[in-house]
Amino acid sequence: MSFRNLLGYFMLPAMMAVVTIAACAQLRHPSADRVPHTAMKEALSYKAPFGDTRTASPEIVTAGKALYEGKGGCVLCHGISGQGDGPAAHMQVPHPPADFTNCAFQNEREDGELFWIIKYGSPGTGMRPLIPAMLSEEEGWKVVAYVRTFCAAQS
């Protein structure tokens, strides 16, 4: 085997490994922060007008569900199931939509962090700001209350 053939024999697998590692490096762990460090203080200061979203009334959760599936368009990427499997999810490479059924994702986030993402989007992902373009702040909080139910549904 000539040096040129030998070099080609080893280069292809090496290049494939580099591409694979680079692609994987772009993926975020489900528990990684979505709010930039510089905005975390602001995000944590946000509080729902009706209290803790995990204990929101059924009326608020129902309104949040309607917004998630309708006006907010959340269902397009996050899916009806909340697993990040909506019809547009495949377009969110290399950062797929969050899986709201992942209780680790839910438990590691304060209400204000989820609201901040709805308000400002998630930098470096397909998640765009929804407030005030599509939702009011009050509606954004209702969506957070509904999103919280995806983890509870898995319990």
Residue 9 lies inside a defined structural domain of this protein: no
pLDDT classification of 93: cutoffs 50, 70, 90: confident
Distance CA 78, CA 98 (A): 7
% of residues, the chain, pLDDT over 70: 77
pLDDT classification of 18: cutoffs 50, 70, 90: very low
Domain count for the chain? 1
Spatial neighbors of 89 by CB under 8 A, at least 6 apart, are 77, 78, 79, 96, 97
CB atoms within 10 A of CB 149: 20
CB atoms within 10 A of CB 148: 22
Place of tokens 């499997």: 85
Average pLDDT over residues 45-64: 97
pLDDT recorded at residue 34: 82
Query: pTM of the predicted model, to two decimals?
Result: 0.79
CATH code of 150's domain: 1.10.760.10
pLDDT recorded at residue 20: 37
2-11, 12-21, 94-103: range with lowest mean pLDDT? 12-21
Residue 24 lies inside a defined structural domain of this protein: no
pLDDT classification of 95: cutoffs 50, 70, 90: confident
Which residue range forms the structural domain that includes residue 110? Answer: 31-154
The 3 state secondary structure assigned to the chain is: CCHHHHHHHHHHHHHHHHHHHHHHHHCCCCCCCCCCHHHHHHHHHCCCCCCCHHHCCHHHHHHHHHHHHCCCCCHHHHCCCCCCCCCCHHHCCCCCCCCCCCHHHHHCCCHHHHHHHHHHCCCCCCCCCCCCCCCCHHHHHHHHHHHHHHHHHHC
Residue 119 has pLDDT above 70, yes or no: yes
% of residues, the chain, pLDDT over 90: 68
Residue 132 lies inside a defined structural domain of this protein: yes
Residue 80 lies inside a defined structural domain of this protein: yes
